Amino acid sequence: MENVAIIGASMTQFGRRDGWVLDLLSEAGTACLDDAGVSPDAVDHLYVSNMASGEFEGQTGIMNAIAHDLAAMPAYTARIDQTSSSGGAGVKHAWQSVASGASDMTLLVGAEKMTHRTTPEATDVIASITHPVEYKHGVTLPSFAGLTARLYLDTYDAPRESLGKVAVKNHKHGVHNPHAQFRKEVDLDTVLESPIVADPLRLYDFCPITDGSAALMFCPESVAKEYTDDYVLVPGVGGATDTHVVHERADPTTMRGVVESSRIAYDMADVGPDDVDVAELHDMFTILEFLQSEDLGFFEKGEGWKAIEEGRTEMGGDMPINPSGGLKSKGHPLGASGVAQVYEIYEQLMGEAGKRQVGDADTGLACNVGGFGNCVITTLMEAN
Amino acid sequence: MEAYRYPDGSITYPGHPIGPGGEEPVDTVDLSDYTAEVITWTTSTAAPPGVREPNTLAIVEFDVDGEPVRAIGGVTTGDEVAIGDEVRPVYVEELREPGAGIREPDSQEWDGYRFEPV
């Protein structure tokens, strides 16, 4: 099996955009082809990561539409939906297409258009992933976060302020990301005094509703060398699931999908958590950064909150997390987010992250979470 | 409030065609006959269409003859609840307005149980 390389990447401005999902896909897809120096007729497979274009704007069949708009026919195409981890799932499918020998050039584009919907409408589209016994009670993803945050703080005797410090950190990082929805620092008092959304979590504990797109170009390393000397390798990608019904988990503060997907990815890449120089985690809610950083093995169980208190996850810390600003600051266009996480790690490993650069990063990790840990993809990447 | 019991003794709510041990269910248990302990709770102030606001929710654990079974539901008393409280299920004819949200009204049931502190 050949090594899988990424030879090009792009992302659009995240935030409130005028264009619709096909416009966003086209913008990122075109930019990625340009960045990689690849002609559309060289693309064998074209994957589109997207959760709900039909529900959000009544546009389905977007994988074929974008194949046409990018003149990539007769490339094989498919739309990848794994809810909030659609982007990560797209990375896994793109990786598999190359590693299996089925494709010598795979373009992955993720996108979501959400901001034309009201917050209650968008919340309901996302909450439609829940089981009927959850949905009929009005359970939402933010309410899962509130339930879990209260249990985490109670179980591990963590201060409420530690969650607020995740928001402060990621907003601080996002200032240097030109694509981020919010490029503005917030202080801890602002976070802790913002309106309650799902007690004990407040407005600044949550990511925004976002439009945006991101793209990556995958190929075998032997083909990569024909295009460029500078590329990034993807030695491991793991995917795993946890219960659909969230309350059936014995320990709601452990995300089994994160544990299992990272175990697979670490084994494939023959590395461990101590080898990771930089990570992009799925901070859709501040509490998720603690859970993932523990379940990925960066910190002991119940001690993720201490890492933020000690500054270990900031730029300059020994385990920098979310230099892009994370979903919290950058925004969370569902199908694009997992692709944009890998875009950030690509930039870091290429040494092209500018003021966000974490130093000489050789190994990076992206963890993309679907639902409330229902589906998880962990991707490990290495500098060439 | 029907839960399924499987051959290995485990019980789940809701029931599944195949249980956690990989076997089909052999019996049902009506959880509304039991009380439960609050594992955690939240009050959501950003409810989706057709849902009461604020909406206090709790994950609770029933003890069915020594076998733990968890469930989620609304709390009848707003945010006057705490981790460790004992609650009992109380029947509610319509938990959420059918058709106000994205889900097809006929695709699921809308009645069920909220939890009331004992």
pLDDT in tens, A166-211: 999 999 999 999 999 999 999 999 999 999 999 999 999 999 999 9
Query: Considering chain A, what percentage of its residues have pLDDT values greater than 70?
Result: 100
Task: Tell if the CB–CB gap between B102 and A128 is shorter than 8 Å.
Answer: yes
Cα-based torsion angle of the residue sequence A29, A30, A33, A38 in order, rounded to the nearest 10 degrees: 120
Best of A241, A246, A247, A254 to substitute, by most chain B Cβ atoms within 10 angstroms, is A247
The pTM of the whole model exceeds 0.90:
yes
Tokens standing for residue A101: 């020998």
In tens, the pLDDT along A14-50 reads 999 999 999 999 999 999 999 999 999 999 999 999 9
Q: Which of A128, A148, A247 shows the shortest C-beta gap to B71?
A: A247
Return the residue of A nearest to B55 by Cα.
A138
Cα separation, A36 vs A81, in Å, equals: 25
Beta bridge partner(s), residue B60: B38, B71
pLDDT, residue B80, reads 81
Q: What is the mean pLDDT of chain A?
A: 97
> What is the least distance, in Å, from the CA of B69 to any CA of chain A?
8
Would an 8 Å CB–CB cutoff place B1 in contact with chain A? Answer: no
What does the pLDDT read at residue A332?
A: 98
pLDDT at residue number A175 = 98
Q: How much is the pLDDT for A31? A: 98
Best mutation target, B13, B16, B37, B42, to test chain A (most A CBs within 10 A): B42
**From the CA of A103, how many Å to the nearest CA of chain B?**
37
Average pLDDT over residues A292-320: 97
Q: What is the side-by-side order of every strand in the sheet holding A212-220?
A: A76-80, A45-49, A106-112, A212-220, A4-11, A232-241, A375-383, A363-370, A278-280
Asked whether the predicted pLDDT for residue B79 surpasses 80, the reply is no
Amino acid type, A184: K
Residue A61 CB contacts under 8 Å (≥ 6 apart), including other chains: none
Q: Is B92 touching A (CB cutoff 8 A)? A: no
Handedness of CA A269, A361, A185, A189 (dihedral sign): positive
- Architecture of domain A4-117+209-225 in this structure: 3-Layer(aba) Sandwich (3.40)
Measured between beta carbons, which residues in chain B are less than 8 angstroms from residue A55?
102
Q: Is the ipTM of this complex over 0.90?
A: yes
pLDDT for position A360 = 87
A149 pLDDT band, cuts 50/70/90, is very high
**Residue B41 contacts A, CB cutoff 8 Å:** yes
What pLDDT score was predicted for residue A1? 82
Give A209-251 pLDDT, tens digit per residue: 999 999 999 999 999 999 999 999 999 999 999 999 999 999 9
pLDDT for A278 beyond 80: yes
Q: How far is CA B111 from the centre of its chain?
A: 11
- With CA atoms as reference, the chain B residue closest to A146 would be B42
The confidence band for A311, taking pLDDT boundaries of 50, 70 and 90, is very high
Provide the pLDDT confidence category of residue A3 given band limits of 50, 70 and 90. very high
pLDDT grade for B34, boundaries at 50, 70 and 90: very high
